[in-house]
Chain A
């Protein structure tokens, strides 16, 4: 359980010096070994990020030929109502999908119950959506959500509820996308959390039981605190991937759906500016905005983790 413990982080100079000395002693070999990875990351991640950052200060012709336009794109960014709409939608989506984290903790601990029959089967069941293609998932959900002929509204009608047109009513469309997003992220979160649960020594539960702690008390006082580094990790990853919502939205709602302008996410807005309206300079500025936003949110989460993540 050594997730970025505060003790480690308070002494970076020492560890840094130690690392530097080791590298000197070993000569060039360590660098040669990491070169393929560093090279790949630099070429396919860092370099495009730098280019995008540069292009965000330019205005593009449709087929390239960028001309420097300074801060024009960013000036447009701060006054663009559609950007704020997309930002709001992205935040709502992220919020709903993050509700899946506590759900995943609960489900993972259920699956971890000793002696549970068919545990492997359940695990496969929950993990399946994560390995399936988002586009394929979205197409199936599109049929489920169909207002006139979908199975969801049919089931609702059995209990006397007239279901809405899920994917073609502005408010409901976002909720529909969020439901699918939550459902498909559950499997990944559960696998991480289940691995974390396996690391909790059974003696702790035995000790808790001897002290007379109930199952729910054990969950609150043993499971959750000792699982908190895993929960934190799942939280960060889910947040980042939720901010990048695109393919699910695109495939579930369709690019010609009239609710798109009111339901678009940040990345979808980036896509529509860059690849539908052919405005790649402005799209780059949106991309940089998303990049910085995710960076800031992640930093804030790291700051806040000290309050609730238990280490060692």
Chain B
């Protein structure tokens, strides 16, 4: 066994050497600490580049399914600026933010990249993103052309950094065949929480032998409990974004909604939903109602239940509400070809470009009045619901380090939903922990 002896020896040697090395080098390293810091942002005046501007820029995105529409956009863009070459860099969602964060640390972010709400303040607050001020001032982008709630999402301390390229709202997808089988009336535009809870419990009860459930909760705030919190008149974050809203009675009602749904057996348990996610229950024909985003349409359209599906607005609590979120194109503050990147940013925000995105069925485009193609993109299904919900849409709650308190939600809320601990107790803990995280921002 020569192999084992050499391996074990080097392991020991390496360990000893590194311990000595660590101690010896700490002093050395301490001398050259804390270099770098946030890059300085100068907001140069934006003017459209000349037709002959030659540049090589990178546009980073995470969704492969949108690349076709993006390529179509870029073809139009290159008619205007033939010498600006754009490389589309697709990084799958799972690695997208790890990669961007590393790049941001070394000021090598792609010239133009997709930014979402939860990460926006982190990047903008640390000077990683170029403000949109001069573009707006020059009249190249008009903020009122986009949904107000989303425009505000990409503004920090009075400075605008981006405009939405698309938006997502949440709707009540349902399976007509299951409703018919259970003998329950299908959802309407005027449904309330009570209608929803009763229907869910009844369907679960009537079809228990087939293992079919009425509705499903889950651990994703955007598609579940944020909606009910807003419908109950509660909040996740205070207006100024500095304190948690989880200790308010209205917010508690929004969480209690899901606890009641699971307790009445209207929904599978939290464990069942962890093993098999709500959308999988739905597309397998085991779930009557699925509260999900408009983006679920491609998964649903490709599933065996596609012909039985219809969509309705979310049921109303104290009031109607849905979470809205949209992705924004932003220019990196560290970009070496800022003018070219801004030209592309302006182009992608234009009505023509967004109309093209919508016509190709890639997304719900954000530019007001370009969404009609989306509404018709799933024959027989009333996708207009997702557009009508704009009237009462509430932006996804975000702060400077959203991920930090999202982790507390993920850790604590399951006990509230499952009934393992009283909802009020869990929310008290959650509010305390979240306030701690917010204070550090």
Does A223 interact with chain B (Cβ within 8 Å)?
Answer: no
Does B210 interact with chain A (Cβ within 8 Å)?
Answer: no
Does B79 interact with chain A (Cβ within 8 Å)?
Answer: no
Give A244 Cβ to nearest chain B Cβ, in Å.
14
Give a binary string over A145-177; 1 marks a CB under 8 Å from any B CB, 0 the rest. 111111000000000000001011100000000
Chain B residues lying within 8 Å of A229, measured Cβ to Cβ, are 1, 4-5
Which of A55-63, A95-103, A117-125, A208-216 is the contact stretch? A55-63
Which of B269-277, B301-309, B391-399 is the contact stretch? B269-277
Assess whether A261 is in contact with B126, with CB atoms less than 8 Å apart: no
Among A3, A51, A165, A258, point to the contact of B4 (Cβ < 8 A).
A3
**What are 30 residue pairs bridging A and B, where the CB atoms are less than 8 Å apart in the complex?**
A3-B8, A49-B21, A50-B21, A50-B22, A50-B29, A53-B22, A53-B25, A54-B25, A54-B29, A54-B30, A58-B33, A58-B34, A62-B122, A63-B38, A68-B33, A146-B275, A147-B275, A150-B275, A165-B274, A165-B275, A229-B1, A233-B8, A254-B274, A256-B220, A256-B410, A258-B270, A258-B274, A261-B411, A277-B407, A299-B12
| Alpha-carbon gap, A147 to B281, bound state (A) | 13
Which of B45-53, B97-105, B175-183, B339-347 is the contact stretch? B97-105
Does A272 interact with chain B (Cβ within 8 Å)?
Answer: yes
Give a binary string over A1-16; 1 marks a CB under 8 Å from any B CB, 0 the rest. 1111000000000000
**Other A-B pairs beyond A46-B17, A196-B1, A278-B403, 10, CB < 8 Å:** A45-B14, A46-B21, A51-B29, A58-B33, A61-B126, A63-B104, A233-B8, A254-B274, A258-B410, A277-B407
| Alpha-carbon gap, A301 to B271, bound state (A) | 39
Give a binary string over A239-252; 1 marks a CB under 8 Å from any B CB, 0 the rest. 00000000000000
Does A221 interact with chain B (Cβ within 8 Å)?
Answer: no
Assess whether B403 is in contact with A277, with CB atoms less than 8 Å apart: yes
Chain B residues lying within 8 Å of A146, measured Cβ to Cβ, are 275-276
Assess whether A277 is in contact with B404, with CB atoms less than 8 Å apart: yes
| Alpha-carbon gap, A272 to B408, bound state (A) | 12
Q: Which residues of B contact A (CB under 8 A)?
A: 1-2, 4-5, 7-9, 11-12, 14-15, 17-19, 21-22, 25-26, 29-30, 33-38, 98, 101, 104-106, 122, 126, 128, 211, 219-220, 270-272, 274-276, 401, 403-404, 407, 410-411, 414
Q: Which residues of A contact B (CB under 8 A)?
A: 1-4, 41, 45-46, 49-51, 53-54, 57-58, 61-68, 145-150, 165, 167-169, 192, 195-196, 199, 229-230, 232-233, 236, 254, 256-261, 272, 275-279, 295, 298-299, 302
- Which residue, of A41, A54, A66, A302, has the highest number of chain B Cβ atoms within 10 A? A54
| Alpha-carbon gap, A50 to B29, bound state (A) | 9
Q: Take A3-B8, A46-B21 as given contacts and tell me if A260 and B410 are in contact as well, using a CB distance cutoff of 8 Å.
A: yes
